Structure 1
């Protein structure tokens, strides 16, 4: 909590625990869908969920990046990562996945 410059109390601890549960839920959802094509009809909710999470995160980070005074390099690099992931999930959301044709195996 000292790193965030926030007083440690029950509310901030609860907020960080709920935020951790949110990220863990997204991680498990993405892990369970790892073998499927994201996009298309069946996995649109996974694509839109990730797009929303990274898009809103990128917008929030862009809003504070100019006024940050403590560790700006961390915030700027996190902003770039969130922007790239938001753009990639937006691309996945608006395009349809193409199945790769399997080559004939002689074995």
Structure 2
């Protein structure tokens, strides 16, 4: 699995989340929190902006050397986001406090990306040999 695939995949996922939470915050938060308040919609829109910013960061760095000491801030930021965000999602799904398929899918994606960026953090990037 190449780093380009990981960066592109996370960029596409974050862009989808960003567009969704920016333009459909009420609809998405109603799927997660049925008794949605107006402040939740506002926070969802701000979160959507964060997702779009992260997506742009990952998309612009997808062709760079990633792993080990290369692009370490990018890897650390992504790992931190997916790990810190994935833990409460995982706890919610394990304790079965939700039955939202959207939340379960997001949890699976978060855990996968947390593992992938954790793997990138400690691996030396593969450099193609010149012939």
TM-score, with length taken from structure 2: 0.67
Q: Please tell me whether the aligned partners of residues 86 and 110 of structure 2 are also in contact (alpha carbons under 8 angstroms).
A: yes
Higher helix share: 2
Pick which of 57-66 and 75-84 moved more. Answer: 75-84
CA RMSD of aligned residues (A): 1.8
Equivalent runs, 1:42-57 vs 2, <5 Å = 42-57=70-85
- 1:94 aligned onto 2:122: yes
Partner SS state of residue 49, structure 1:
helix
Query: 2:4 — aligned with what?
Result: none
TM-superposed deviation, 1:100: 0.7
After TM superposition, what 4+ stretches of structure 1 lie above 4 angstroms from structure 2?
none
Which protein has the larger Cα radius of gyration, Structure 1 or Structure 2?
Answer: 1
Superposed, which structure 2 residues align to 1:1-107 within 5 Å?
Answer: 1=26, 2-3=30-31, 4-9=33-38, 11-65=39-93, 66-71=95-100, 73-103=101-131
Specify every segment of 5 or more residues in structure 1 that has no aligned partner in the other structure, as ranges: none
Shift of residue 86, structure 1, vs aligned partner: 0.7
Distance, in Å, in 1 between the alignment partners of 2:107 and 2:36 is: 25
Q: What is the CA–CA distance in structure 2 between the aligned matches of 1:80 and 1:16, rounded to whole Å?
A: 20
Native 8 Å contact 2:92 2:98 kept in 1: no
Aligned length: 101
